[in-house]
Structure 1
Protein backbone atom coordinates (compact mmCIF):
# COMPACT_ATOMS: atom_id res chain seq x y z
CA UNK A 1 0.00 0.00 0.00
CA UNK A 2 2.87 2.38 0.77
CA UNK A 3 4.07 2.25 -2.83
CA UNK A 4 0.62 3.06 -4.18
CA UNK A 5 0.25 5.97 -1.75
CA UNK A 6 3.69 7.31 -2.70
CA UNK A 7 2.80 7.03 -6.38
CA UNK A 8 -0.36 9.10 -5.87
CA UNK A 9 1.51 11.65 -3.72
CA UNK A 10 4.11 12.10 -6.47
CA UNK A 11 1.48 12.37 -9.18
CA UNK A 12 -0.47 15.01 -7.21
CA UNK A 13 2.60 16.86 -5.91
CA UNK A 14 1.51 16.39 -2.29
CA UNK A 15 3.75 15.98 0.72
CA UNK A 16 2.94 12.93 2.89
CA UNK A 17 2.38 15.09 5.98
CA UNK A 18 -0.07 17.35 4.13
CA UNK A 19 -2.02 14.38 2.75
CA UNK A 20 -2.08 12.85 6.22
CA UNK A 21 -3.41 16.08 7.74
CA UNK A 22 -6.18 16.31 5.15
CA UNK A 23 -7.15 12.66 5.75
CA UNK A 24 -7.09 12.98 9.54
CA UNK A 25 -4.08 10.67 9.93
CA UNK A 26 -0.85 11.17 11.90
CA UNK A 27 1.80 13.12 9.98
CA UNK A 28 4.12 10.09 9.99
CA UNK A 29 1.48 7.57 8.84
CA UNK A 30 3.50 6.65 5.72
CA UNK A 31 6.62 5.91 7.78
CA UNK A 32 4.48 3.84 10.15
CA UNK A 33 3.01 1.92 7.20
CA UNK A 34 6.49 1.20 5.83
CA UNK A 35 7.52 -0.03 9.29
CA UNK A 36 4.77 -2.64 9.23
CA UNK A 37 2.04 -0.87 11.16
CA UNK A 38 -1.49 -1.70 10.00
CA UNK A 39 -2.93 0.52 7.28
CA UNK A 40 -5.79 2.92 7.97
CA UNK A 41 -9.30 1.47 7.92
CA UNK A 42 -12.85 2.68 7.69
CA UNK A 43 -13.46 6.39 7.25
CA UNK A 44 -9.76 7.25 7.49
CA UNK A 45 -9.02 4.96 4.55
CA UNK A 46 -11.89 6.51 2.60
CA UNK A 47 -10.62 10.01 3.46
CA UNK A 48 -7.09 9.08 2.37
CA UNK A 49 -8.40 7.78 -0.97
CA UNK A 50 -10.30 11.04 -1.45
CA UNK A 51 -7.23 13.16 -0.66
CA UNK A 52 -5.20 11.08 -3.13
CA UNK A 53 -7.97 11.31 -5.77
CA UNK A 54 -8.18 7.56 -6.11
CA UNK A 55 -10.30 4.65 -4.93
CA UNK A 56 -10.07 2.54 -1.80
CA UNK A 57 -9.82 -0.50 -4.09
CA UNK A 58 -6.67 0.91 -5.70
CA UNK A 59 -5.09 1.68 -2.31
CA UNK A 60 -5.68 -1.85 -1.02
CA UNK A 61 -4.22 -3.36 -4.19
CA UNK A 62 -7.35 -4.37 -6.07
CA UNK A 63 -8.56 -3.56 -9.54
CA UNK A 64 -9.96 -0.01 -9.24
CA UNK A 65 -13.22 -1.19 -10.84
CA UNK A 66 -13.77 -3.85 -8.15
CA UNK A 67 -15.49 -2.89 -4.91
CA UNK A 68 -13.20 -3.15 -1.87
CA UNK A 69 -13.88 -5.91 0.64
CA UNK A 70 -16.33 -4.72 3.32
CA UNK A 71 -13.84 -5.33 6.13
CA UNK A 72 -11.46 -2.58 4.95
CA UNK A 73 -14.29 -0.09 5.19
CA UNK A 74 -15.27 -1.15 8.70
CA UNK A 75 -13.90 0.72 11.62
CA UNK A 76 -11.58 -1.36 13.78
CA UNK A 77 -13.89 -1.41 16.79
CA UNK A 78 -12.04 -4.13 18.64
CA UNK A 79 -9.04 -1.85 19.13
CA UNK A 80 -11.35 0.77 20.60
CA UNK A 81 -12.65 -1.65 23.24
CA UNK A 82 -16.22 -1.41 21.97
CA UNK A 83 -16.81 -5.14 21.52
CA UNK A 84 -17.43 -7.81 24.12
CA UNK A 85 -15.02 -10.77 24.18
CA UNK A 86 -17.40 -13.08 22.32
CA UNK A 87 -18.02 -10.40 19.69
CA UNK A 88 -14.28 -9.93 19.15
CA UNK A 89 -13.80 -13.70 18.77
CA UNK A 90 -16.63 -13.89 16.27
CA UNK A 91 -15.25 -10.94 14.30
CA UNK A 92 -11.74 -12.45 14.19
CA UNK A 93 -13.14 -15.75 12.87
CA UNK A 94 -15.34 -13.92 10.35
CA UNK A 95 -12.37 -11.98 8.97
CA UNK A 96 -10.57 -15.24 8.17
CA UNK A 97 -13.41 -16.34 5.85
CA UNK A 98 -13.47 -15.79 2.09
CA UNK A 99 -16.06 -13.34 0.73
CA UNK A 100 -18.70 -15.90 -0.40
CA UNK A 101 -18.56 -17.60 3.00
CA UNK A 102 -18.84 -14.23 4.75
CA UNK A 103 -21.98 -13.47 2.74
CA UNK A 104 -23.46 -16.84 3.75
CA UNK A 105 -22.64 -16.25 7.42
CA UNK A 106 -24.30 -12.81 7.36
CA UNK A 107 -27.40 -14.28 5.70
CA UNK A 108 -27.64 -17.04 8.31
CA UNK A 109 -27.13 -14.59 11.19
CA UNK A 110 -29.84 -12.29 9.87
CA UNK A 111 -32.28 -15.17 9.54
CA UNK A 112 -31.52 -16.41 13.04
CA UNK A 113 -31.90 -12.91 14.51
CA UNK A 114 -35.30 -12.38 12.92
CA UNK A 115 -36.65 -9.10 11.61
CA UNK A 116 -34.87 -5.89 12.50
CA UNK A 117 -36.69 -3.83 15.13
CA UNK A 118 -38.39 -0.71 13.87
CA UNK A 119 -36.63 2.58 14.45
CA UNK A 120 -37.18 3.69 18.03
CA UNK A 121 -38.45 0.29 19.15
CA UNK A 122 -36.82 -1.29 22.19
CA UNK A 123 -36.16 -5.01 21.89
CA UNK A 124 -36.76 -6.98 25.06
CA UNK A 125 -34.30 -9.76 25.71
CA UNK A 126 -35.18 -12.82 27.76
CA UNK A 127 -38.96 -12.37 27.62
CA UNK A 128 -39.77 -15.58 25.72
CA UNK A 129 -43.06 -17.51 25.73
CA UNK A 130 -43.79 -19.83 28.61
Structure 2
Protein backbone atom coordinates (compact mmCIF):
# COMPACT_ATOMS: atom_id res chain seq x y z
CA UNK A 1 0.00 0.00 0.00
CA UNK A 2 1.43 3.45 -0.90
CA UNK A 3 2.60 5.85 1.79
CA UNK A 4 -0.03 8.41 0.73
CA UNK A 5 -2.92 5.99 1.32
CA UNK A 6 -5.16 7.12 4.19
CA UNK A 7 -4.95 5.14 7.46
CA UNK A 8 -8.48 3.91 6.74
CA UNK A 9 -7.13 1.99 3.73
CA UNK A 10 -5.17 -0.46 5.91
CA UNK A 11 -8.23 -1.10 8.08
CA UNK A 12 -10.38 -1.69 5.00
CA UNK A 13 -7.78 -4.03 3.55
CA UNK A 14 -7.81 -6.05 6.78
CA UNK A 15 -11.61 -6.34 6.69
CA UNK A 16 -11.53 -7.37 3.02
CA UNK A 17 -9.05 -10.15 3.83
CA UNK A 18 -11.07 -11.31 6.82
CA UNK A 19 -14.33 -11.40 4.81
CA UNK A 20 -12.65 -12.79 1.69
CA UNK A 21 -13.96 -9.93 -0.45
CA UNK A 22 -12.24 -8.17 -3.32
CA UNK A 23 -12.12 -4.38 -3.29
CA UNK A 24 -14.41 -4.36 -6.34
CA UNK A 25 -17.00 -6.62 -4.67
CA UNK A 26 -17.07 -4.48 -1.55
CA UNK A 27 -17.23 -1.24 -3.55
CA UNK A 28 -20.18 -2.47 -5.58
CA UNK A 29 -22.00 -3.81 -2.50
CA UNK A 30 -21.59 -0.41 -0.80
CA UNK A 31 -22.94 1.40 -3.86
CA UNK A 32 -19.57 2.94 -4.71
CA UNK A 33 -17.75 3.02 -8.03
CA UNK A 34 -16.26 -0.45 -8.71
CA UNK A 35 -12.71 0.91 -8.52
CA UNK A 36 -13.30 3.19 -5.52
CA UNK A 37 -11.53 1.06 -2.89
CA UNK A 38 -8.58 0.39 -5.19
CA UNK A 39 -8.21 4.15 -5.75
CA UNK A 40 -8.57 4.77 -2.00
CA UNK A 41 -5.87 2.22 -1.19
CA UNK A 42 -3.63 3.86 -3.80
CA UNK A 43 -4.15 7.25 -2.13
CA UNK A 44 -5.89 8.73 -5.18
CA UNK A 45 -9.25 9.56 -3.57
CA UNK A 46 -10.16 10.84 -0.11
CA UNK A 47 -11.90 8.53 2.35
CA UNK A 48 -15.68 8.36 2.00
CA UNK A 49 -17.97 10.32 4.30
CA UNK A 50 -21.63 10.33 5.21
CA UNK A 51 -23.84 7.57 3.88
CA UNK A 52 -21.09 6.23 1.63
CA UNK A 53 -18.98 5.56 4.73
CA UNK A 54 -21.92 4.05 6.61
CA UNK A 55 -22.71 1.68 3.72
CA UNK A 56 -19.05 0.68 3.43
CA UNK A 57 -18.90 -0.13 7.16
CA UNK A 58 -22.03 -2.27 6.79
CA UNK A 59 -20.56 -4.20 3.85
CA UNK A 60 -17.34 -4.76 5.80
CA UNK A 61 -19.32 -5.91 8.86
CA UNK A 62 -17.75 -3.31 11.11
CA UNK A 63 -18.47 0.13 12.53
CA UNK A 64 -17.80 3.58 11.12
CA UNK A 65 -15.77 4.26 14.27
CA UNK A 66 -13.46 1.33 13.50
CA UNK A 67 -12.93 2.50 9.92
CA UNK A 68 -11.92 5.98 11.06
CA UNK A 69 -9.44 4.51 13.54
CA UNK A 70 -11.41 4.75 16.78
CA UNK A 71 -12.48 2.14 19.28
CA UNK A 72 -15.42 0.35 17.61
CA UNK A 73 -17.65 1.12 20.62
CA UNK A 74 -16.95 4.88 20.45
CA UNK A 75 -19.48 6.98 18.53
CA UNK A 76 -17.96 8.29 15.29
CA UNK A 77 -17.20 12.01 14.99
CA UNK A 78 -20.07 13.97 13.47
CA UNK A 79 -17.91 15.35 10.64
CA UNK A 80 -17.40 11.89 9.10
CA UNK A 81 -21.16 11.35 9.05
CA UNK A 82 -21.86 14.64 7.28
CA UNK A 83 -22.36 14.37 3.55
CA UNK A 84 -19.84 15.97 1.23
CA UNK A 85 -21.23 19.12 -0.36
CA UNK A 86 -20.67 17.80 -3.85
CA UNK A 87 -22.80 14.73 -3.22
CA UNK A 88 -25.66 16.98 -2.19
CA UNK A 89 -25.49 18.89 -5.46
CA UNK A 90 -24.28 22.07 -3.80
CA UNK A 91 -21.14 22.34 -5.93
CA UNK A 92 -20.65 22.28 -9.68
CA UNK A 93 -18.42 19.50 -11.02
CA UNK A 94 -15.44 21.79 -11.54
CA UNK A 95 -15.84 23.26 -8.04
CA UNK A 96 -15.94 19.79 -6.52
CA UNK A 97 -12.80 18.76 -8.46
CA UNK A 98 -10.98 21.88 -7.27
CA UNK A 99 -12.03 21.26 -3.68
CA UNK A 100 -10.85 17.63 -3.80
CA UNK A 101 -7.47 18.70 -5.19
CA UNK A 102 -7.19 21.50 -2.61
CA UNK A 103 -7.86 19.08 0.25
CA UNK A 104 -4.89 16.93 -0.80
CA UNK A 105 -2.47 19.85 -0.42
CA UNK A 106 -0.30 20.58 2.60
CA UNK A 107 -1.03 23.77 4.59
CA UNK A 108 1.68 25.94 2.93
CA UNK A 109 0.44 24.90 -0.52
CA UNK A 110 -3.15 25.69 0.46
CA UNK A 111 -2.11 29.17 1.58
CA UNK A 112 -0.32 29.76 -1.73
CA UNK A 113 -3.34 28.61 -3.73
CA UNK A 114 -5.64 30.94 -1.80
CA UNK A 115 -3.32 33.89 -2.49
CA UNK A 116 -3.16 33.10 -6.21
CA UNK A 117 -6.92 32.66 -6.55
CA UNK A 118 -7.65 35.87 -4.65
CA UNK A 119 -5.25 37.82 -6.85
CA UNK A 120 -6.83 36.34 -10.01
CA UNK A 121 -10.38 37.11 -8.82
CA UNK A 122 -9.66 40.79 -8.28
CA UNK A 123 -10.83 42.92 -5.38
CA UNK A 124 -13.80 41.78 -3.37
CA UNK A 125 -16.87 44.00 -3.64
CA UNK A 126 -17.63 46.30 -0.72
CA UNK A 127 -20.21 44.81 1.66
CA UNK A 128 -22.82 47.41 0.65
CA UNK A 129 -22.46 46.68 -3.09
CA UNK A 130 -25.08 44.32 -4.50
CA UNK A 131 -23.79 42.13 -7.34
CA UNK A 132 -25.58 42.55 -10.69
CA UNK A 133 -26.81 38.94 -10.61
CA UNK A 134 -28.76 39.63 -7.42
CA UNK A 135 -30.31 42.78 -8.86
CA UNK A 136 -31.61 40.87 -11.89
CA UNK A 137 -33.47 38.39 -9.66
CA UNK A 138 -35.39 41.04 -7.73
TM-score normalised according to structure 2 size: 0.56
Aligned length: 83
- The offset of 1:34, in angstroms, is 2.6
CA distance in 2, matches of 1:68, 1:38: 17
CA distance in 1, matches of 2:41, 2:26: 16
CA distance in 1, matches of 2:88, 2:77: 21
Question: What residue is the counterpart of 1:60 in the other structure?
Answer: 68
CA RMSD of aligned residues (A): 1.6
- The offset of 1:31, in angstroms, is 2.3
TM-score normalised according to structure 1 size: 0.59
CA distance in 1, matches of 2:87, 2:25: 26
Task: Structure 2 unaligned segments of length 5 or more: list them.
Answer: 1-7, 92-138
1:49 is paired with a residue whose SS is: helix
Moved over 3 A (4+): 78-81
- The offset of 1:15, in angstroms, is 1.1
| Contact in 1 for aligned 2:50/2:81 (Cα 8 Å) | yes
For residue 75 of structure 1, the aligned residue among 74, 83, 89 is 83
Task: Structure 1 unaligned segments of length 5 or more: list them.
Answer: 84-130
